[in-house]
Chain A
């Protein structure tokens, strides 16, 4: 460490020198290419100069090269200083915990004093940080999610995006059971999402049953389809399994397209009954939610309600998965991912074990599908194409197979960035591709690639990535 410290000034000057050389080379290269422009659009040929563009380019090269040589070639030094800084912050936070809380409250209070309109945002920020310091990252995320509608009540656009994000978090967690825990590569997960959505739409329309009755039915239907698919295909392994599940996804979509009498074909099913507040509809009538609770009618009520429904569904998925991992069936899934032959030698029925993984994963996909149908009010086979399956799988892979928190972060980043880059429609997939390549280089096993043991004798030790098998189907 002391070597790293003494090398500090030379590291900095070395990086500066390196960046300067790169800037000079860039100047030589770009002077003629970017610095001058011949233009004949208006009258005779003229020579234009573009000093700003040239300077910007060289500036980018300089800064970029400086950062690269600082970070890349001197990673140890940098890591040492960052580490020291982080340790200092942590120990400060630990030493002055009460002071920190007071400081936060003071800042929050001052903020409220100067701009009282922002109080929900301030509340959520302060609460999240406090919970995060005390109980850790996951708890902070949970509090943030729970308070989100309070802070962004006046921003239906944000609420809408949050609902979409949570839907994908739930789908990611559902698929995580199949891919992350049991190690079965499923490329047709969207089929179960579709089965859930369509069974909800058809049952709700035909029988007029409420959302809370149809939701479990949709999940059961999807689970049934999971078993139906599982029986013939689970004897396949790896690539073969992936291809068959891919085909199953397409078959379901094509059946939905062509079975016009049941699904209304490509026109889709419209006017699906909206979710009600346990029987009380969200509308402006006398018997509506607003009137019953003495509120002024506001369409956001429904959005907030939907937000909490999907949050609850996602959290149930998470809770069940965490519980299942610690039960024999969950351990058998992970064992199956690690080594199927050893699993069989211990008297565990591999087919049943895989089927339960498929069925439970499919069931959560079905729940998400039912929610999707009631939120949209309209579904068509277009919503259940292969890229959707690929997106959900990408969420699981990016998040780190088997990691709940990693999948949640990946789903948030992917879905939110798709929304943020909506203006750059054409470049979205390019950015997506770059992000994937970046992950492959720096985090080939996903954001969170460690594994938490499900039982321990003395102490719980996180298992590092090199021991964990990815599973070959």
Chain B
């Protein structure tokens, strides 16, 4: 089974999915990420799916679960780079990925996390 590598950049964890995902790889990634968030104290997780050709209900549920777990561990998750065909298919499938933040690409994903962190600090100051 292939494991998806988790990269750390500052206080953000970056996962770039480059393989055709098997269900076990998906579950392994879910565990790896939760462990890493706690170990590194990361404040954000970015999952790059630019290379992913399909997202079915299993992978969609994995994305939502990762976002929920990370939020519990005080990190925001952003899914970036979803292809138009994948997005259209997900809508048709009836999957909304509720609670998952999205951005067009990695750069905008990082900007979104920084923006969220900014408003978090602003809220703390008040």
B is a partner of A: no
Q: Which residues of A are in contact with B by a Cβ distance under 8 Å?
A: none
